[in-house]
Structures are given as C-alpha cells and as structure tokens.
Homo-oligomer: A and B are copies of this chain.
C-alpha cells in the first residue's frame, strides 16, 4: 500500500509485529491435534524454531539441547567458538566488561583470527550430540569454509549477513551465490532479505530457505545507525508471497524463516500468521540456563570495527531451554513455553498446522499495547 509523503514521492506502508493481533476463529482445534513441524530440505523439525548464530545464544551444547527438543541451532563460524580453543574465557571477558567498555572489549575479543581446525572441531562436536548440525558464515568466507564444514559432516549451511543479495555492483570480488548453491551437496539457507524481489532472487539462486528481517532484533541498532529496515509483518508477508509465487512456478517450496524481533510466544504466532514457516530467535535462546552468554546477548555486528551497530543486552536467565520452549512456564509474560503458546494460539485461530496458520485473519490493532495496560504494574 503506497502513501504519498511529499510531492512526487511515495512510501510503502509497512507494519510491525506490535501493530497487529490475530483474530480468533469460529472453529477451534484441540491443542493435541496441532502439528507445528517444519521442513527444510529433507530435514523435518518437530518445532519451527532456529536459534540465531549469535555467540551469547549458541554453542555446541545449545546445538545439542535444541536439536533434541526438535529445533535447530546455528553455530556462528565467525564468532568466539572458532576463534578460541576455550571460548568461555572470551565470553567471560565480554559479559564482565563494564557498560562503558563493552564496545572496546567486543572489538578486542573479535580481533583474534578464525581457526579452520576449530571449525572442523566444533562441527564434529555438534554431530557427536546426535543432532542435525547447522553453521553460518558470511559471504566473504563461505567458499573457504564450506569444504571444511562438509568434511566435518555439517548438514545445513547458513549464508548470512545483514543483507544478502544475489546482485552486487562492484568491480571487486563478489560471491556467486547461484554457483555456490549449485555446488553444495547440503542445503544452503540464505539471508537476510526483506522484500518480495530480494527473497525471490535468493530462491531463484538456489536457496533452500531464506531468512527474513533487517533491523528488527533486540540486540541490533541497524535502523538507527543506517536508517534501513522493514518492519517484520510486511517483510515476512512479502517474502512469503515470493515463496508462493516461486512454488507455483517451479514446484519447489523454499521456506521463509522470520529472523529477529520475536521474544514472546505471541510474536512467533504472529510471524507465522504473516507467512513465515519457522522463526529464528536470539534473545529467548540467550535467556536459557544452558546458553553460553549467562543471560547476556550481543549482535554479530556489535563489534564491527568502523561501524558497530549492536549492543550487549542483559536478557536474564529465565529457565532451562526446555522450559522456555515447551514449558512449564514460570512466568506469565509470554517469554516461556513459546511452543505451548504457539499451539494454543493456533488452536484459537483454528489452524491445525503451520500452513493453515499462514492464512488466519489478522487485525491491524495499533491501540493494543496501551489498552488494558494501565493497571498491569
């Protein structure tokens, strides 16, 4: 929907998750009959949750725990896990740094070079946990890291940067995503993107799934620093439209994974209702007892040497990862038992599976956050 913001200048009206709400259905479904499983390539995941490739959220242990719960954690191949033999020491430095020195400490910790042998080691460790192994790299290192990953037994490769596009206007080197995907024997998940065209081009280039979201995450200041971003409701709906059109045309179904900006069960339900097949979350994972960050969380652009645009935040420790995802909830604010909440939401909306949930009725309800909150203190 276009809106005129000045003479000869239009803007595209976009929407955020806080502005919408899901409309209950006239036909409800028994919660035990609800299926939230999600497919990526030939893999099937009982719960549609990926853990963000962020150092406060994911290490080998989390990969094991989340994998056993039915989801998928993505290890960052460019974070502390592959720079340090003992990453817990680097993490300790970050989380104990006083507020005003965090940025400095982050820059310092991430100066240590990435070690190829550690990439291999970490992936083998994940596989030892008996779960599907996924790891992420930026386009710059992707061609170098992929063979190492394959030899270590990686199952899914995630090619991720703030914004990843097939086309790049430059005289210099640029990763050829199309041929990269073609060569890879394992599924390549690519992101992030936020538009119909952007998602479509990644699908056409061979992505096995796309990550959607620029700017919405809690540990990210991209919108302030760069002025760019698209709120998640519109970004997901547009990418989902690309997925559906691409599927119509080719018969290949490329899942859309909403990435960033979701902390509560309601956020996940809304993202799926907007068209997502699964979600990638950071803060909720980082708030698990088992998470490496011990209640702290920071973005992977936080330590960019010239233009840091993230921050270390304290998310606290809410419970075990199992409690956070599957309950029993010890809190009443929606931050625990995320999957239970998703299922109850689907039950209320009359959606038996993810596909049906993508078509439920949505309310544009900008008033929701204020109404009724007056007494909640």
Stretch at the interface among A16-24, A45-53, A178-186: A16-24
Interface residue A250 (Cβ < 8 Å from any Cβ of B): no
Contacting pair A5 B364 (CB below 8 A): yes
Which residues 76-103 in A have Cβ within 8 Å of B in the complex? 103
Q: List 10 A-B contacts (CB under 8 A).
A: A5-B234, A7-B237, A12-B361, A13-B364, A26-B201, A27-B168, A28-B167, A225-B265, A226-B341, A313-B375
Please tell me if the beta carbons of B21 and A215 are within 8 angstroms of each other in the complex.
Answer: yes
Can you tell how many copies of this chain the complex includes? 4
Q: Indicate if the CB atoms of A228 and B194 lie closer than 8 Å.
A: no
* Nearest CB in chain B to that of A102: its residue: B332
- Flag whether A345 is at the interface (Cβ < 8 A): yes
A367 touches B23 (CB 8 A): no
Q: In whole angstroms, what is the CA distance A352 to B169 when docked? A: 9
Whole-angstrom distance from the CB of A29 to the nearest CB of chain B? 5
Cβ of A108: which chain B residues have Cβ within 8 Å of it?
A: none
Chain B residues contacting A226 (CB-CB under 8 Å) are 22, 265-266, 269, 334, 341, 344-345, 348
Contacts known (A4-B1, A169-B352); A275 close to B9, Cβ less than 8 A: yes
Q: Which of A290-307 contact B (CB under 8 A)?
A: 302, 305-307
Contact B30 A170 (CB under 8 A): yes
Q: Which residues of A contact B (CB under 8 A)?
A: 1, 3-30, 32-33, 103-104, 162-163, 165-172, 174, 193-198, 201, 214-221, 223-238, 240-242, 244, 260-261, 263-270, 273-275, 283, 302, 305-311, 313, 315, 327-334, 337, 340-341, 344-345, 348-350, 352, 361-377
Q: Which residues of B contact A306 (CB under 8 A)?
A: 327-329, 337, 340
Of residues A23, A265, A361, which shows the largest number of chain B Cβ atoms within 10 Å of its Cβ? A23
CB closest chain-B residue, reference A345: B226
- Out of B11, B242, B270, which one reaches A364, CB within 8 Å? B11
**Chain B residue at smallest Cβ distance from A377:** B313
CA gap between A232 and B265 in the complex, in Å: 22
Docked pose: A23 CA to B244 CA in angstroms: 22
Given contact pairs A227-B265, A328-B306, A362 touches B9 in the complex (Cβ within 8 A) = yes
Q: Are A23 and B218 in contact (CB under 8 A)?
A: no
When distances are taken between beta carbons in the complex, the residues of chain B under 8 Å from A194 are 23-24
Which 8 pairs, one residue from A and one from B, show the smallest C-beta to C-beta distance?
A6-B237, A227-B266, A16-B367, A30-B170, A7-B241, A225-B334, A218-B375, A227-B269
> In the bound complex, do residue A376 and residue B167 qualify as a contact, i.e. CB atoms below 8 Å apart?
no
A367–B162 CB distance below 8 A: no
In whole angstroms, what is the CA distance A19 to B227 when docked? Answer: 11
Do A225 and B368 touch (CB < 8 A)? no
Q: Is there an interface contact between A225 and B333, defined as CB atoms closer than 8 Å?
A: yes
Residues of B within 8 A of A4 (CB): 1, 13
Question: Are the C-beta atoms of A238 and B345 separated by less than 8 Å?
Answer: no
A18, B229: Cα distance in complex, Å: 12
Tell which of B3, B19, B332, B341 touches A311, judged by Cβ atoms closer than 8 Å. Answer: B332
Which among B11, B26, B170, B329 is the interface contact of A166 at CB below 8 angstroms?
B26
Asked if A372 and B260 make an inter-chain contact with CB atoms under 8 angstroms apart, the answer reads yes
